[in-house]
Amino acid sequence: MQSLPGFRDFLPNDCAARNYIFARWREVCRRYGFVEWDGPVLEPTDLYKKKSGPEIVAQLFSFTDKGEREVAMRPELTPTLARVIAAHEREFKKPLKWFSIPQCFRYEKQQRGRLREHFQLNCDIIGDQSSGADVELIALCIDLLREVGLAADDFVVRISDRAAWDRFLPDFGIGPEQKADFLNVIDKLDREEVEKIQPKLELFGVSVARLMAFLANANLEWFAPLREQLETRDLLQYCEFNLRIVRGLAYYTGVVFEVFDRPRKFRAIAGGGRYDTLIHQLSDGAVDFPAVGFAMGDVVLGELIKEVPSARKKMEEAIQSQHDLQIYAVIAKEERRPDALQLIQTLRDNGYRVDYSLTPAKVGKQFQTAEQLGARLAVLFGDEWPQLKLKDLCTGDQSLVPREELPARVATLLSSRA
RNA sequence: GUGGCCGUAGCUCAAUGGUAGAGCUCCAGAUUGUGAUUCUGGCUGUUGCGGGUUCGAGUCCCGUCGGCCACCCCA
């Protein structure tokens, strides 16, 4: 038996890496004044049929439950967020700064960096339409990546603004009904040959030359406010401005941004933007809030951390410092086992990470285990009783300690090299 | 969903159509109560699965499942 395609087993090392990423996410989000929330993993399929795009619905992980309800594993969090906001918004002062780490699902052929299940950090600011909120969120996104040890030459935030297109599309003679199709062509501008782009543009009556001229002018002026605020925060070095970026989702209304690794080896690390009309639509008109948000997946970020030596080292050290054993109890004489267990319990009550052999084992074996588990101290229970032999496994120093003094001695030794 | 490449021990990989192997890991030992290195021994395979061609298939062919890559899409 193997796991379903696109689903992961988290062996201890994988789980440690996941927990590390989650811990950094929570830490930085709280630093920015965001509070954590969550919703159901399973939702009525209708929530997505009504509220998400056709592409998302086509890839739903859905089934009929035993009560004949059509249900779906959540493919994204935003519909749930809209529902929760509509029901509870009066309980909270605006703007809301909420984050969540949902596990999301999609029924889609898997590839590297894109599985059928992943965790994604969602950060949203609800009820503030200022560009300050946009920048706050971009800053948060950058800091999340800096926190795991990534630097300006590891990733780039590419920023654009759909509002610019809203303002200029009429100049090209393109009506609202053609907007989505046109932006789809723009989205591929950097990826496709001019020969392929040209006929597509001509369908809209736009020449390549005219489009390029527009881009050259608009790119300079349009982003001045954002640029200024990012400069103030000394974050400009992480950012690039480019109107060609429109992002796939239909619901974005203003600033959009996406984050990539500089070598472009991986898929997008994060993406988001402003969606000022979505909550109104998703709540069936019950509430109306401007909003801006982004999502960052655990899969690509995890791969990138492993790829960048400094980030990888930082993660490994963080994991090890949390997991290494502090004390290993060596039971040299089996008749001392009850005494050992009593003292082990005391040490654990004091908050130390303590382990020992559950079954009788040779002393050499026990020391070897202590070494492999990364223990810093070994306490030996044997003929010395009621004294104990305390060994520092880093230096090799050993000393005899009366059993009642052990906690104090352990505290001294462990704190001196913390 | 479409196309291409791949699938051998827990892991990384060998094996011209002719008896399936190595390294690492893991487990057990190397005289009495101390970690490393070393040494010895041991375990794991219907070669992803199912058919076919052949005297003989890990190897060639077909199917299927799984993985990787590109397209699609990207929450």
Which residue ranges make up each domain of chain A?
Answer: 12-39+77-318, 325-416
Nearest nucleotide, CA A296 to C1':
B75
Per-residue tokens: A186: 């723009």
Do residues A27 and A143 touch, judged by C-beta distance below 8 A?
no
The pLDDT of residue A142 is 97
Q: How far apart are CA A256 and CA A273, in angstroms?
A: 4
Q: Would you say the C-beta of A205 is within 7 Å of strand B?
A: no
Q: Would you say the C-beta of A394 is within 7 Å of strand B?
A: yes
Nearest nucleotide, CA A104 to C1':
B75
Nearest nucleotide, CA A396 to C1':
B35
Q: How far is the CA of A5 from the C1' of B16 (A)?
A: 37
% of chain A with per-residue pLDDT over 70: 95
Q: How far is the CA of A133 from the C1' of B74 (A)?
A: 25
Query: Which SS3 state, helix, strand or coil, does residue A104 take?
Result: strand
**Residues in a beta bridge with A44:** A71
How far are the Cα atoms of A345, A346, A401 from residue A339, in angstroms, in the given order? 10, 11, 15
Per-residue tokens: A202: 């001509």
Q: How far is the CA of A417 from the C1' of B29 (A)?
A: 37
Q: How far is the CA of A108 from the C1' of B50 (A)?
A: 26
Does the interface ipTM go beyond 0.85? no
> Chain B positions under 7 Å from a protein CB?
1-2, 26, 29, 32-36, 65-75
The pLDDT of residue A51 is 66
Nearest nucleotide, CA A384 to C1':
B33
The pLDDT of residue A418 is 47
pTM (two decimals): 0.90
Taking the stretch 123-182 of protein chain A, residues with Cβ within 7 Å of any atom in nucleic acid chain B are none
Q: How far is the CA of A299 from the C1' of B58 (A)?
A: 34
Q: How far is the CA of A50 from the C1' of B11 (A)?
A: 47
> Is the CATH code 3.20.20.140 the one for domain A325-416?
no
The pLDDT of residue A401 is 93
Q: Would you say the C-beta of A333 is within 7 Å of strand B?
A: yes
The pLDDT of residue A52 is 67
Q: How far is the CA of A48 from the C1' of B46 (A)?
A: 46
Q: For A225-272, what is each residue's pLDDT tens digit? A: 899 999 999 999 999 998 888 776 677 888 999 999 988 888 889 999
Helix (H) or strand (E) holding A79: helix A78-88
The pLDDT of residue A249 is 66
CATH number of the domain located at residue range(s) A12-39+77-318 in this protein: 3.30.930.10
The pLDDT of residue A43 is 93
- pLDDT < 70 positions in chain A: 1, 51-55, 190-194, 248-249, 417-418
Please, what's the b/e burial string for A102-130 (b: 16 or more CB within 10 A of its CB; e: otherwise)? bebbbebeeeebebbbbbbbbbbbbbbbe
Query: Which SS3 state, helix, strand or coil, does residue A71 take?
Result: strand
Q: Residue A121 corresponds to which amino acid?
A: L
Q: How far is the CA of A366 from the C1' of B42 (A)?
A: 22
Nearest nucleotide, CA A332 to C1':
B33
Give the up-direction half-sphere exposure of residue A374: CA atoms within 13 A in the CB hemisphere.
9
The pLDDT of residue A71 is 92
Q: Would you say the C-beta of A2 is within 7 Å of strand B?
A: yes
Taking the stretch 37-96 of protein chain A, residues with Cβ within 7 Å of any atom in nucleic acid chain B are 53, 55-56, 59, 75-76
